[in-house]
Structure 1
Amino acid sequence: MTPAQAPPSHGWFSALLQSADFARAYTVAVLGAVFASFAIERLAGRVTYVSIIVGLCVLGVAVLVARRQEISLLRLVPTTLVLFLGWALASVFWSSDAATSFWSWVTTLALAFLAVVIGHVRDTLQTARALGDVLRALLAVSLAIEVLSGILLDVPFAFLGVQGNLAELGPVQGIFGTRNMLGFVAVLALITFLIEYRTQSVRPGVSFASVVLAGGLAALSDSPTVLVLAVGVGLAVGALALVRHTRPEHRGALQLGLGTLVVVGVIAGYLARHPIIAWIGAGTDFSMRVDLWNVMVDWVRFEPVLGWGWFGAWSTREYPFSYINYVLDASHATGLNAYFDVLLQLGWVGLSLLVALAAIALVRGWLAASERRSVVYAWTPLILVALLIDSVFESFTLVGIGWMMLVLCAVRAGQSRSWRERIDAPGTEGGLPHDAAGA
């Protein structure tokens, strides 16, 4: 065989990494691993979960290298994400435990990297479809576990955190550890399933069953945040539909009016927070959160600019988390509010960067959804709305599922509308390779 006839080195492997089938399998694997992280850690241990994430990161690097001709380095990562991660890394130097803080940052970086890879190998519809498939499976498993524990065996599954309350109509946790996490995942699933239905990307029967499954588990979770999330996302859907059906020349004024209405609504909601809390029946739950936030704010005053160092989920043996729990006689693993949590850990600088990351992504995603014909573009801003609302009551957006989804949506939004489009080289369409966009 002559040199001209010899096959290129590793040609088959490179072709595999660039294929649409591999991109779909990789996306499903990443989403499945991260969304099932609690169950994986409880069943196989944290080392197993970490090994899975490391393996997926190695594959992600290989995918980006194989697709390097299709991907623009300039548009690879949102600038605000780089700044936030850079500030979190810098906080290691003034953290009370540099080693723990550093490895927490590595975990944050790894999940962000996986989200970036997915954002560059799948378009919005493909991402929503992969997430829909993953959440259908995980919610079905959650329901099966609850039926087995609460009805057939009537025995709690302590190793999974399942209390077996299905016969009493909740609260249930599924395989996600807590009722609030199950409710949060169910809302993300509802958004995704409805987008699938509107785009006709799955059969109507599958869409209907999926919506019933997610809605039923959201109700059975008995999470006080689910109702707030449902109302907030519902209002966002209505506002987006109104904008999409408005003449282009009138959209600017309508968007400005809606923005003003949101600001007024947030202020009114804060002023009327006590009646709202009483209405949704979350008084005790919210009172506990307020006590926690008050103590956190006291500690923020000591380090208002820099914060106490990045940990993500709290290291309960580290200062000041251990002292906060001691004062409250509790064992909180997070600040139960992403904004207060990042303020405590990274100060006002970190909070400003996180808000900028989320706000820019939301504006970009919202504008793309309001201007483009396909309803699939609504997926990104609606997921972001759910994340931002849930961040008022939980710190999910800083770790695990929530953090990966925030970064994924930021990458998707940045590819739809970005200042980089004016200076980027041709060869990509909407931030995606031409072959990926049509795969």
Structure 2
Amino acid sequence: MTLGRDELLAAGLSFLGHPRLVTAITSVAIGIAVFAHPIRQLSGWAGLVGALAVLVVLAAASIVARWRSIEWRGLLPVSLIVYIAWAGLTLLWSQYQWATLWSLLYLGAFTVLALYVALLRDTIQIVRAFGDVLRAALGLSIALEILSGLLLDTEIRLLGILGNLEALGPIQGIAGTRNQLGILAVLALITFGTEYRTKSVPRGLAIGSLVAAAIALLLTRSPVAIGGFAVVCVAAAALYGLRRAPDERRRYWQIAILVIAVIGAGVTWIFRSAIIDLLNAGGELSYRLAIWYQAWSLIGLHPLEGWGWIGTWQSELPPYSLFQGLSVRSETSASNTYLDVWLQLGLVGLVIFLGLVGLAFARSWLLASRRRSVVFAWPALVLVALLTTALAESSLLVEFGWLTFVVCAVKAAEQLSWRQAFSRTGQPPRP
């Protein structure tokens, strides 16, 4: 007995829309983003792009199979669409058009995967998927550091592991640098803490994961990640208080927290030298200041429109080749997300980007303070970590950082979109 075209189509759609396949695609999408560095180092760009292309096609087909079950109205943030559109427009005046085209396709691939995760998974399922991948990443990182630093006592240069575990760090793991591994550890602490509070994994697994992530963070000796984690702890304490405040007083507490945050930022700036000494970050700051100064001089040549989108820098292309004499390693970013956006997309792109991150954070923070389930605090705290560490790293713009950011932004817009409110009431929502 042979199946007709309609039967085959129905079987294909049933397979592509099956919950188990959706779960698998979600985990693999997050996994490719987290493990992008080791995949690229072991198989080259061809291996990473090939795996990414296959996964994007499979994710797109799965979305088509479940098209009717997705509520599209007001789901995708307009600010995200405008930001990606502006990055695409820079192809018209880019100084390196082929590199811009390739980088746009790369950005688009991770955007599609992020949208897939956000559209087809609810927040607790997303937390579980991130938790599983981050457990694997930190576990493999610690195992490789033990192999390199204790058993073999040699570097694993292919992955950027220096074998410093015997001296208690800094370690790099699968992330390539201590700062990137530290950021992964911070996000892991947020994720594992959410799993523990929601009881979505066994208690022993949650506690063990938290301990491993804390050890990994300390061993990175990353002032960027440790400073970011300190800000996350303050934000978590503020959310804890807000969630327990009476509804009629919560708005006033929100305003008070905003004022305290502004004052705190000012105090941090005033005592920045003491804080830098406390974190032993003087060398890091001097290195970054040199990059920022060079980037600022290049911004002045194309202040409004930027040089053109490129994401991760390519050292053989001008103007990024001008940065290569600043240190012994090849520079791949401006080590500051906001400065990097200004350099590549100009002042127009920076304003759009600030609007995008501002709306995403505001929506996620309001959700976290209003909803009873603790799982809604995950996107808000993840965004706090990403936007804080973005002051000293540009990883938010590509791969894992970008995928995670888009997932959080879309999940926040799903609940607090002004277009959804307008469609429900016929009137614009009150601010």
In the superposition, the TM-score normalised over structure 2's length comes to 0.95
Alignment check: 8 A CA contact 1:76 1:116 kept: no
How many Å apart are 1:17 and its aligned residue? 2.0
Report which stretch shifted further, 117-126 or 300-309: 300-309
What is aligned with 1:397? 396
Distance 1:328 1:141 in 2: 29
Give the Å deviation of 1:319: 2.1
> Contact (CA 8 Å) 2:290, 2:326: kept in 1 or not?
no
CA drift of 1:154 comes to 1.2
2:222: which partner in 1? 223
The answer for the alignment partner of 1:131 in structure 2 is 130
Distance 2:235 2:42 in 1: 38
Match of 2:349 in 1: 350
What is the distance in 2 between the residues matched to 1:90 and 1:2? Answer: 50
- Indicate the residue corresponding to 1:432 in structure 2: none
Query: Which stretch shows the higher mean deviation, 227-236 or 150-159?
Result: 150-159
Question: How far is the alpha carbon of 1:16 from its aligned partner?
Answer: 2.1
Query: Is the aligned partner of 1:63 residue 2:62?
Result: yes
Cα-Cα RMSD: 1.9
1: distance between equivalents of 2:5 and 2:319? Answer: 63
Counterpart in the other structure of 2:189: 190
CA distance in 2: counterparts of 1:424 and 1:408, whole angstroms: 23
Measure, in 2, the Cα distance between the counterparts of 1:216 and 1:72.
Answer: 41
Instruction: Pick which of 37-46 and 328-337 moved more.
Output: 328-337
**Mapped partners of 2:153, 2:327: distance in 1:** 34
C-alpha offsets along residues 109-152 of structure 1, whole Å, 9 cap, x if unaligned? 11111100110110000000001011111111111111111111
Q: Secondary structure at the match of 2:377?
A: helix
The yes-or-no answer on 1:321 pairing with 2:320 is yes
1:276 aligns with 2:238: no
Q: What is the aligned partner in structure 2 of residue 147 from structure 1?
A: 146
Show the 5 A alignment for 1:172-187: 172-187=171-186
Give the secondary-structure state (helix, strand or coil) at the position aligned to 1:305. coil
Structure 2: segments with no counterpart, 5+ residues: 426-431
**Preserved CA contact (<8 Å) 2:291 2:326:** no
Tell me the distance in 1 between the aligned counterparts of 2:155 and 2:182.
Answer: 20
User: What residue identity is the alignment partner of 1:350?
Assistant: G
Q: What is the identity, as a one-letter code, of the residue corresponding to 1:157?
A: I
Conserved in 2, the CA contact under 8 Å of 1:233 and 1:385?
A: yes
User: Structure 1: how far apart are the matches of 2:422 and 2:252?
Assistant: 29
Q: What pairs with 1:305-316 in structure 2 (closer than 5 Å)? A: 305-316=304-315
Q: 1:135 to 1:2 in 2, by over 3 A?
A: closer
For 2:429, the equivalent position in structure 1 comes to none
Distance in 1 between the 2:274 and 2:268 partners?
10
Alpha-carbon shift at residue 327 of structure 1 (Å): 6.6
Q: Where does residue 119 of structure 2 map in the other structure?
A: 120
How far is the alpha carbon of 1:67 from its aligned partner?
1.1
Q: Distance in 2 between matches of 1:283 and 1:301?
A: 27
Contact 1:196 1:202 in 2 (8 A): yes
Residues 153 and 87 (structure 1), Cα distance of their counterparts in 2 relative to 1, 3 Å cut? same
- Equivalent residues of 1:92, 1:309 under 8 A apart: yes
Counterpart of 1:366 in structure 2 is 365
Identity score, percent: 38
1:246 maps to what in 2? 245
Letter matched to residue 231 of structure 1 = A
Q: Does the C-alpha gap of structure 1 residues 424 and 64 become closer, same or farther in structure 2, counting only changes over 3 Å?
A: farther
Q: Does the C-alpha gap of structure 1 residues 126 and 329 become closer, same or farther in structure 2, counting only changes over 3 Å?
A: closer
1:437 corresponding residue in structure 2: none
Task: Please tell me the residue identity of whatever aligns with 1:364.
Answer: R
1:163 CA displacement = 1.1
Query: SS of 2:324's equivalent?
Result: helix
> Aligned partners of 2:272 and 2:318: how far apart in 1?
31
Q: Is the 8 A contact 2:182 2:226 kept in 1?
A: no
List per-residue Cα deviations over 1:205-252 (Å, max 9, x = no partner): 000110011111111111111221111000000000010000000001
Distance of aligned partners of 1:290 and 1:331 in 2 relative to their CA distance in 1, 3 Å threshold? same
- Cα separation, 2, equivalents of 1:130 and 1:223: 26
Structure-2 separation of matches of 1:410 and 1:24: 20
What is the Cα deviation at residue 301 of structure 1?
1.6
Contact 2:17 2:62 in 1 (8 A): yes
Q: How far apart in 1 are the matches of 2:397 and 2:2?
A: 56
Conserved 8 A contact 2:70-2:120: no
- Three-state SS of the structure 2 residue aligned to 1:9 is helix
> Corresponding residue for 2:202?
203
Deviations 1:44-89 (A, max 9, x none): 2211110111111101111111111112333342111111111111
- Distance in 2 (CA, whole Å) between partners of 1:141 and 1:124 is 26
CA, structure 1 residues 344+6, in 2 after alignment: closer, same or farther (shift >3 Å)?
closer
Letter in 2 for 1:114: L
In the superposition, the TM-score normalised over structure 1's length comes to 0.93
2:272, 2:85 → 1: CA distance? 35
Whole-angstrom CA distance in 2 between matches of 1:425 and 1:120: 20
Change (3 A) 1:48 1:6: closer
Which deviations, in whole Å up to 9, do the C-alpha atoms of 1:225-282 show, x marking residues without a partner? 1221111000000000010000000001110111122122222222322221111110
Equivalent position SS for 1:10: helix
- 8 Å CA contact 1:187–1:226 kept in 2: the answer is yes
8 Å CA contact 1:142–1:174 kept in 2: the answer is yes
The one-letter code matched in structure 2 to 1:302 is L
Unaligned runs of 5+ in 1: 427-439
Match in the other structure for 1:91? 90
Residues in 2 aligned to 1:43 and 1:269: alpha-carbon distance in whole angstroms: 41
Q: Which moved more, 1:268-277 or 1:149-158?
A: 268-277
Match of residue 265 from structure 1: 264
Matched with 1:406 is 405
Bigger Cα displacement from structure 2, 241-250 vs 297-306: 297-306
> What is the total number of aligned residue pairs between the two structures?
425
Alignment-derived partner of residue 158 in structure 2 = 159
Contact 1:115-1:404 within 8 A present in 2 as well: yes
* Alpha-carbon offset, residue 13 of structure 1: 2.1
- What is the Cα deviation at residue 330 of structure 1? 6.3
Report the more deviating stretch, 370-379 or 11-20: 11-20
